[in-house]
Amino acid sequence: MSLGPLMVDLAGTELTAEDREVLAHPLVGGVILFTRNYADPEQLSALVEAIHGLRTPQLLAAVDQEGGRVQRFRQGCTLLPPARLFGRLYERDASAGRRLAEQAAWLMAAELRAMDVDISFAPVLDLDYGVSSIIGDRAFHRDAETVGELGREWLLGMRRAGMAATAKHFPGHGAVEGDSHQLLPVDARPLDDIRRHDLKPFERLIRLDLAAVMMAHVVYATIDGLPASLSRRWIEAELRGRMGFGGAVFCDDLSMRGAAGAGDYVERARAALAAGCDMLPVCNQRAGVLAIIDSLGNYVNPLSQWRLARLHGREQLSREELHASREWRAARAALEQYYAGDEFRLEN
């Protein structure tokens, strides 16, 4: 059985009979995990083992574990700072900023791989223009060169831990005030401005064989009337065509209001696939998942399946081996110089 285009969620910390039935369907290719699915590392490892044991090839197990506000697993994992910390450190000492970003990315990915999680949706490559509350400190910096430098280190740290990076939110969510979870933001800037600034970090990581990108539910009104997540102009012409990206394209969550203009869940899914997305997360909407499964029939895209198969996690240490390693201790000590809980240890 191959990996299908749907990424679905779960209600709790164990698989239910309905979960098993849904995850066995060939149109499903992955599971996105949330805080409600996590009690501790042992429980999560057992849950992921159950998910992976359902199918061959294994379903992808994914999570948002950026750090800061967006870290789904906390108890038993290292608390990670928001990306802004690395940008601030980079301003003071570029070498130290790059080094800490690589260590933090390795630490995040190594801890997830020790629980057999395949993907963390990171790094965020949006630029912090100071207007987006939903991005805010999730961004490394406003300067595209700085974001590209730190994003590069994040990709390399994740890769060193056996995890592929997923850069988001293409082509850039940082210049709009609205939250695409609640509405459809509109960015009125011309394409040349977006290319000169927002696309630069993505171009940097694509040259490093970036494995995946997540699209933004944002309309860039001078380029296309559709949100980028549902736009062939952005996915096929710009990202794949001009920029030469060959990895997997994730739509952002189809249950977000930013995708609602495309219609019901079936219409949203069809629009995202037609635009060139390889994987469609549908969160907190099991009825929508079932409707899509009933509608898409025997949908198969062999190229998408190949792109998604590249995202399976690679080598990993057990939690015991990881915690005994000098590198894990060194990475945690390095982070503790600058961050404690939710407190920055940098001068403002």
CA angle 114, 117, 228 (to 5 degrees): 145
The residue assigned the tokens 């750090």 is 67
40 is catalytic: no
The Cα-based distances of 58 to 54, 185, 227, 296 in angstroms read 7, 36, 31, 21
Tens digit of pLDDT per residue, the chain (348 long)?
A: 689 999 999 999 999 999 999 999 999 999 999 999 999 999 999 999 999 999 999 999 999 999 999 999 999 999 999 999 999 999 999 999 999 999 999 999 999 999 999 999 999 999 999 998 889 999 999 999 999 999 999 999 999 999 999 999 999 999 998 656 666 789 999 999 999 999 999 999 999 999 999 999 999 999 999 999 999 999 999 999 999 999 999 999 998 876 777 789 999 999 999 999 999 999 999 999 999 999 998 899 999 999 999 999 998 899 999 999 999 999 999 999 988 766 777 653
Catalytic residue (one of 64, 128, 137, 252): 252
Region at 304 (left for phi over 0; alpha for psi -120 to 50; beta for the rest)? alpha
267/287 Cα distance (integer angstroms): 14
Cα(272)–Cα(249) distance, integer angstroms: 10
Give the pLDDT confidence score for residue 348 in this predicted structure: 38
Active site residue 197: no
In this structure, how many other beta carbons lie within 10 angstroms of the beta carbon of residue 198?
26
Q: For residues 132 and 279, what is the distance between their CA atoms, to the nearest angstrom?
A: 26
What integer pLDDT is reported at residue 2 of this predicted model?
87
What's the CA gap between 348 and 1, in Å, rounded?
A: 53
Annotated catalytic residue: which of 181, 264, 294, 323?
A: 181
Pairing of strands 186-187, 119-120: unpaired
Query: What's residue 57's pLDDT?
Result: 94
